[in-house]
Structures are given as structure tokens and as C-alpha cells.
Structure 1
Amino acid sequence: MIRSMVLLMLAGIPFYIQAQYKKLIWADEFEYSGLPDSAKWSYDTGNHGWGNNELQYYTAKRKENALVSNGILSIKAIKEDYKEAKFTSARLVSKNKGDWKYGRIEVKAKMPQGRGLWPAIWMLPTDWEYGDWPKSGEIDIMEHVGYLPDSVFGTVHTAAYNHMTGTQKTKSVFRKNLASAFHVYAMEWDEDRIRIFIDKEQYFEFANEKQSSREWPFNKRFHLLLNIAVGGNWGGKMGVDEFVFPQTMEVDYVRVYQ
């Protein structure tokens, strides 16, 4: 056993990942062409600001905004007039097609770039059993805002800890090549804690205080979301550079282990 642990560490593979999260239970490798697999993904649609004063219209089943080709899912934000909005994009959701309580979620992705863009890889509760946001929780595996081109953020929101009251639990990490190289954005979640990683580096941890759902609503099913927002309270804090469009978030794979 000790020899196996040493060999794994020498190989650069964190042992606890191998030990705890061996079983692949859900994945999209994007080894097909066309629209995202409808057995795994649905769409959130519309242009009502999404609670953040965002500017985009999220479309459904529109290849201009979400397309799989050459093994890559491309989510594209476009500057165009569309149903009273000035921008379009896509927000893919796995709700009722991929819903999990605990596990390791991995997404290998490359970021768009430009002021005003706000891509995210994140999770929301499927059943909202503790009430509306933020009571039932939110897990942000990766958020990136274009005016901070070298930073990504991992965050959790709950009734006790959320950005509306300035109490959210968050941390950032820096990389110079977010828009030019793929990175693996991952989250490990069990009954005691949530850990967030970029590649093999853990940079955020949130522990279960074992008090109430106000602090820890993360004992229910959650699903995954992939999207690019335009503008918004955070993404548009420094304005939107309309000359950078179109911009694409590329996703190589999504894998879920338990």
C-alpha cells in the first residue's frame, strides 16, 4: 500500500483523488459533432438579467452559440441584435440529466478573453429544498471576469455566506495563460467539505460547520452549468469592450466521479 502511494505521488497524481473518486458516473467527452448532446444538456434561455443585470440573451439549440466540433464544445458570446438584446450566448445545464450529491466534478476548459465577459463553471441545487437563492446554495467551481485576465475564482454561496451581504466564501488563483491553454477546473465535495482545484492545485476549501442549512445546504442534489455571461454586476464592473466579440469558452470534457 505504501509503495503504491509513493508511486502515485511520483507520477504527479494526488493519491486521495485515486482513492476516493475512482468511479466515473457521468461524462461528456464531446466526441461527436453538432448541438450538445440533448440526453445530457438542456438550456436556460432569455435576457432578463439573471439577477445580475447581465446583457446577453441565452439561446437554445442555436449552433452559433453552442456547438460541438473536433472534440470540443464551444460556447460563444456574440455581439448581435437578438430579441431586444445586444449580445447572445448559451447557458448549458445538466439539470434532471446529470444531478449528483457528492463527488468529483472535472471540466477541462479554455477561457474567452475581453473586458465584460463572465464565463463560469458552476453548480445549482436541483430541487431547491431549502428555498430560493441563496438558501439552497451555489457552488462556483470556476468564475472568470475579463477585466481580471489572469484570475479565476472558486466560491460558495449559502444563506449565511453570500455576495449580497459580502460574506461569501471565495478565493482566487492566478494563471497567465487562461485564454491560451486548457486547464482542469475541479471540485471535490463530500459531507464534510468542498475543495476547489485548478489542475492539481487545491486553492479553496469550505468546511461543513455542522450547524444548519444556512451554513451548509450542500447535502442535496446539485447539477452543473456552463455559460458565458456578458456584463452584469461583476462581469461588467469595468464596462464591456464591444470590439472583442465574438469570444468562446472551449470545453474539452466534463467528467463526474464518485
Structure 2
Amino acid sequence: MVRTSNLARRAAALALCAVTAGCTAGAASPGIGDVEPLIAPLAAADWQLVWADEFEGDTLDRSKWVPEQSCWGGGNNERQCYTDRPENIAVEDGKLVLRARRETLTGPDRPPEIAADPNPLVTRQFTSGKVRTRGLHAWKYGRIEARAKVPAGQGMWPAIWMMPADDHYGSWPLSGEIDILEAVNIGASCGDCGGGRGENRTVSALHFGDPWPDNSYVSNRTALPSQALPSDDFHVYAVEWGEGLIRFLVDDRVHFTVTPDQWHTASPLARGNRNAPFDQPFYVMANLAVGGDWPESENDRGFAEDSVPNQFAIDWIRVYRCASDPQAGRACIKRN
């Protein structure tokens, strides 16, 4: 899914994995190490709000979101069917809640854009929720952020991510993918994590490059300064995206910055364009996957049955453009 960078997922990536948030293959980029991260609060730049969902009321706003209905496992052997039911997608107490449940359900194999005709039915033992702005809203450049509380548990895989609106440069990964937030196995055993409470890192990533299986990605894992589990509370996860510059933030702290020398696309339409494929409109989605190749290959390995039921809560999602530089967005992205 919305995809991140993890070596264990390479072998399971599929050529059609562009509709999920976890297809991987390539080499992970180094993180920021011990460099003190740049603090980049929204108020310090000229960002102008252009779209938002505060998740008020008691129903999903269908003018903003389309639930995905699919059971194919996202190309990562995930265990869930995504449904369009209130049991899995709810708006309550001012939040979007995506719920993973243990229940047997039969549903369509793939979402419409990659479905066979006829689309076969698949039966899974878990259900969950996924919503997308696909076909409704997409943006080129800006600051996209979400205040969210990720679930803990071995096998839990929440994500907020972006995919190209029209695959201008070709099918995944030629047209790119932007992963704002992914969290895998929060609270499970982790020998590389500080804080003494297990896995406490979230992931941001870009996917791009040559056709699968020669596709590439760059990514970074980051922990909160306090080393607390991100499942303990809500945090703001963001991407600031401008012409030739993409950087990811957690609670306004920049933890990962990527420039065109770190990405590419094999598309012939991109020749001479160093900003491709990240120079086209992308849409936003959020989902909670259950299991899959990546989470089940790390930390405590496998899938913990007591991880479900569980939920991914999102307080709001907001999109800003750079008021002083709407075409390129660079003026609002201050570099250190």
C-alpha cells in the first residue's frame, strides 16, 4: 500500500501494485542520521488552505472521498477486504475511523481501474477501510498534511499516501508514488529502536524508476523526539512538495528531504525533464491494511491475532498551496 520502502517487500511487488501503499523494490536511502532536523511550522511559510476534510458530522463526505472495495491484497499478500460499510469506514467524534475487523467476507478482487472483466470474487478473513480522492480531487505541488493516530500491533499497516491522477508517465512506478505516512508493527519487538517499548518509527517514501521488478524507491524511518510510540497520541504527518524538492515532516520536524538527483522515471515522456515523475497532479488516500509481506517479515514476524480488532483514526486532512509561488511551490519550502 499508500507504499513504503522495505527490502522484504521486493519479492512480492506486482506490476499492478500502483493502487496500494506498499509495493517496493530498490534501494532504501539513508536517513538524516544525527543531523538536527529543520523545524518548518505551517505558520512560518505562505501556505494557503485550498482543500480540507475536518471529518465533522457522522457520514463520509462523498464529494471528497470514494471508498475502495477490493480484496486482492494490494500486491503485498495483505489479508483484508476493503469494504464500503460503516463497520469499516466511519466518521465519528470529529474523526475518520478506519477499522480492521476479524470476519469472513467475500468481495471484488480488484478496484475498478485495474479489475478484470468480469472481476472475480475473493474471500478474506479480515475487513478494513480505505478511502481515496481519486477521480474527485488531485493536486500538483503544495503541503499535504494529516493529523492521525496510528494503531499498534504486529501486522497493522496504516498509511496516508498519494498516487498520480492519470499515470501521465505510465503505470506504476513510472508515474511515481508519494508515501506521507506508513507505520508497521508499532509496539512490536525492535532491536534498532530507542525508548524501550518496541517499534516506534514511522516511514515516508517515494517510489519511481524503471518498470517492475527493476523499480526503485527512497525512504526514511523516523522516531518521535521523545521516543514514544506514535500509537499513543495524534501527530501531524506532512509532505511539502515543490518543483524539484520534496520533504517529509512529523509534527513540523523535517525528517527526510529528496531532490531530483535521487529520483527518475524510465518513461520516454520524461526525457530532459529532471522533475518527472513528480511534476503531475496526485490524489490522496488513507487505509489500514491487515498483514502483508512487509509487516509479516519484520519485528516479531508473522501476524499477531490479537492485533485485530483495531483502528486508524484521522482527525483531519488538509491541502495547502504556496500563495506566493502557486506554480512551483518552492517559495514556501524553506531550506536550512
TM-score normalized by structure 2? 0.68
Relative to structure 1, is the Cα distance of residues 185 and 95 closer, same or farther in structure 2, using a 3 angstrom cutoff?
A: same
Aligned to 2:82: 58
Q: CA deviation at 1:64?
A: 0.7
1:225 aligned onto 2:285: yes
Residue deviations 1:2-38, cap 9 Å, x none? xxxxxxxxxxx836764331x111000011113x110
Supply the distance in 2 between the matched residues of 1:138 and 1:26 (Cα, whole angstroms): 20
For the 8 Å contact 2:155–2:307, the answer to whether it is kept is no
- Percent identity between matched residues is 38
Q: Paired residues, what number?
A: 243
Structure that is richer in helix per residue: 2
1:39 aligned onto 2:63: yes
Structure 2 counterparts to residues 106-125 of structure 1, below 5 A: 106-125=145-164
Structure that is richer in strand per residue: 1
Matched residue type, 2:129: A
Residue deviations 1:22-77, cap 9 Å, x none? x111000011113x1101000221111211111100001x1110101111111111
Aligned to 2:26: none
Supply the distance in 1 between the matched residues of 2:239 and 2:100 (Cα, whole angstroms): 25
Residue deviations 1:171-205, cap 9 Å, x none? 11013231110000000001111100000110011
TM-score normalized by structure 1? 0.88
For the 8 Å contact 2:147–2:234, the answer to whether it is kept is yes
Supply the distance in 2 between the matched residues of 1:122 and 1:78 (Cα, whole angstroms): 22
For residue 141 of structure 1, give the secondary structure of its aligned residue in structure 2.
strand
Matched residue type, 1:170: S
For the 8 Å contact 1:161–1:167, the answer to whether it is kept is no
Residue deviations 1:88-108, cap 9 Å, x none? 011100112220000000100
Task: Give the superposed CA RMSD.
Answer: 2.2
Which runs of no fewer than 5 residues in structure 2 stay unpaired?
Answer: 1-38, 107-122, 191-198, 267-273, 322-336
Relative to structure 1, is the Cα distance of residues 68 and 129 closer, same or farther in structure 2, using a 3 angstrom cutoff?
A: same
For residue 101 of structure 1, give the secondary structure of its aligned residue in structure 2.
coil
Relative to structure 1, is the Cα distance of residues 126 and 243 closer, same or farther in structure 2, using a 3 angstrom cutoff?
A: same
For residue 96 of structure 2, give the secondary structure of its aligned residue in structure 1.
strand
1:93 to 132, 139, 156: 132
For residue 50 of structure 1, give the secondary structure of its aligned residue in structure 2.
helix
Aligned to 1:27: 52
- Give 4+ residue runs of structure 1 displaced > 6 Å after superposition: none
Matched residue type, 1:139: I
Structure 2 counterparts to residues 69-148 of structure 1, below 5 A: 69-83=92-106, 84-146=123-185, 147=188
Aligned to 1:208: 260
Q: CA deviation at 1:122?
A: 0.4
